[in-house]
Amino acid sequence: MHFKTIIEPFRIKSIEPIQFSTRSQREEYLRRAHFNPFLLNSDQVLIDFLTDSGTSAMSSQQWAAMMQADESYAGAGSWTRFENAVRDLTSMPYILPTHQGRAAERILYNHLGGAGKYFFSNTHFDTTRANIEFSGAKAVDLPIEEARNFSSDFPFKGNLDVDKLGEWIENVGAENVAAVILTVTNNSGGGQPVSMANAIAVSRLCKSKNIVFVLDACRIAENAFFIHQNENEYKGHTFYLIAQEMCALADACIMSAKKDALVNMGGFLALRNKSLADACTQLLIITEGYTTYGGLSGRDMEAVAVGLKEVFDADYLKYRIRSTTYLGNALKEMGVPVIFPIGGHAVYIESDKLYEHIPVSEYPGQALVCSLYRTGGIRSVEVGSVMFGKYDEKGALIPAEMELVRLAIPRRVYTQSHIDYVVEVFEEIVKTKKQVKGLRIIQEPAFLRHFTAHFEELSQ
């Protein structure tokens, strides 16, 4: 018997109240946040889909492990458990603990990068791109063609275009390629999975050219679910084994543990090569902390060690992916343009197709983000020209490839009734879409502007 209701594979032991608000309160909160929901207080938010990063609910096993943590400065038992868990997953000998993913990125990409160097990726995530560009290097996105074809139901739209990668390597010279980064799942490319076949092809090409192959493994468990589902050779594998096989292909592995390690803070850099590990360890000690804790407390490392196992639980992963798909399918049915197939951790909406009356230069994605907040207290994030836009010499906007809005779903936090509420809010969003206005940026920093930019609504 197959029941259609998604039941969460856990019961709730500890609850956290959420705050309700009226529409007029939310109008005021939004104005005070300069139309940038990153600047809202969380108690002004009803359903927080801003990010799935660091927002997971931990299990009783994780909390229990935290109580047993060893906070010794060097060689703590918590470090050993963390190191073993990461080593078991990645099969890499050198494990560097960091306080989150971008710290690992800063260490590795600063070391490998610099002026004249190139990084290639299926799509660089925002902190990845920022760290690379900050080093002076160039970050080039090479997603496959199908990634942009929203009518195709190709299951691995997160794949990297290996032919194009080959051409780029020829053009710039292998010695100028700092690294190739495969991000699984492809967060900025619609949260789409990467096939094992693609990872194998990328790995082969990198090996033949002596180029460092980095796996950004933030969502490797969710990616493993899709491989298990859609790549025949892996039907008999456990999710964990699939993830291990993927890590085995890479020279380095970066992970923000705030995603698929089911914790609120943490990350790591795992490396296969000793001289690379030595250089990175120098930077680790200078900027993060001693080698057996990096930027983490013993408690944090315990939670990661347990989370890295729990995330591969079959019941958990099925619930996780089904619940994201449920939301995505409901939106698709009511005519909201979503990226299809639905990815693992988030539903992505093509805001420029929803708001055809708002030009890209007036940030249709930011307009949708504001409208979701006003209408239902839902916080989401723009992944379009606010996040990735640049200016030409004359100050005109060079828009991003896509104008997406991401509804990122925290792990183990919301139940199906929360998701049903979000679906209802979207019915209202669709009904009132013509009244929504575009925005203008009135204040912004040089890097990662989406976090702190201030906006003004345009009158029509």
Q: Using CB under 6 A, list all residues that contact ligand PLP.
A: 53, 100-102, 125, 127-128, 183, 187, 216, 218, 256, 258-259, 267
Q: Counting runs of H as helices and runs of E as strands, what totals does the chain give?
A: 16, 16
Say how far apart CA 310 and CA 328 lie, in whole Å: 25
Q: How far is the CB of 187 from ligand PLP (least distance, A)?
A: 4
State the DSSP code for 57: P
Q: With respect to ligand PLP, which residue has the nearer C-beta, 127 or 324?
A: 127
Q: How many CB atoms lie within 10 A of CB 219?
A: 27
Q: How far is the CB of 320 from ligand PLP (least distance, A)?
A: 16
Say how far apart CA 79 and CA 86 lie, in whole Å: 10
- Give me the residue label for tokens 């805001």: 351
Q: With respect to ligand PLP, which residue has the nearer C-beta, 55 or 195?
A: 55
Say how far apart CA 71 and CA 289 lie, in whole Å: 13
Q: How far is the CB of 105 from ligand PLP (least distance, A)?
A: 6
Say how far apart CA 8 and CA 13 lie, in whole Å: 13
Q: With respect to ligand PLP, which residue has the nearer C-beta, 18 or 448?
A: 448
- Give me the residue label for tokens 């590795």: 108
Q: How far is the CB of 454 from ligand PLP (least distance, A)?
A: 23
Q: How far is the CB of 296 from ligand PLP (least distance, A)?
A: 12
Q: Are 369 and 386 in contact (CB under 8 A)?
A: no
> Is 3 exposed, middle or buried, given 0-12, 13-18 or 19+ CB atoms closer than 10 A?
exposed
Q: With respect to ligand PLP, which residue has the nearer C-beta, 370 or 387?
A: 387
Q: How far is the CB of 216 from ligand PLP (least distance, A)?
A: 5
Q: With respect to ligand PLP, which residue has the nearer C-beta, 324 or 371?
A: 324
Q: Are 69 and 233 in contact (CB under 8 A)?
A: no
Q: How far is the CB of 127 from ligand PLP (least distance, A)?
A: 4
Q: Are 35 and 370 in contact (CB under 8 A)?
A: yes
- Give the sign of the dihedral formed by CA 382, CA 24, CA 409, CA 358: negative
- Phi, psi of 383, deg, nearest 5: -125, 70
Q: With respect to ligand PLP, which residue has the nearer C-beta, 105 or 362?
A: 105
Q: Are 180 and 169 in contact (CB under 8 A)?
A: no
> Is 214 exposed, middle or buried, given 0-12, 13-18 or 19+ CB atoms closer than 10 A?
buried
Q: How far is the CB of 130 from ligand PLP (least distance, A)?
A: 10
Say how far apart CA 222 and CA 243 lie, in whole Å: 9
Q: With respect to ligand PLP, which residue has the nearer C-beta, 256 or 380?
A: 256
Q: With respect to ligand PLP, which residue has the nearer C-beta, 218 or 304?
A: 218
Q: What angle do CA 401, 404, 407 make, to 5 degrees?
A: 150
- Phi, psi of 295, deg, nearest 5: -100, 20
Q: How many CB atoms lie within 10 A of CB 387?
A: 21
Q: How far is the CB of 268 from ligand PLP (least distance, A)?
A: 10
Q: With respect to ligand PLP, which residue has the nearer C-beta, 265 or 419?
A: 265
Q: With respect to ligand PLP, which residue has the nearer C-beta, 259 or 320?
A: 259
Q: How far is the CB of 212 from ligand PLP (least distance, A)?
A: 16
Residue of 196, 313, 181 lying closest to 243 (CA atoms): 196
Q: How far is the CB of 254 from ligand PLP (least distance, A)?
A: 7
Q: Are 46 and 19 in contact (CB under 8 A)?
A: yes
Q: Are 412 and 8 in contact (CB under 8 A)?
A: yes
Q: With respect to ligand PLP, which residue has the nearer C-beta, 254 or 370?
A: 254
- Phi, psi of 161, deg, nearest 5: -80, 100
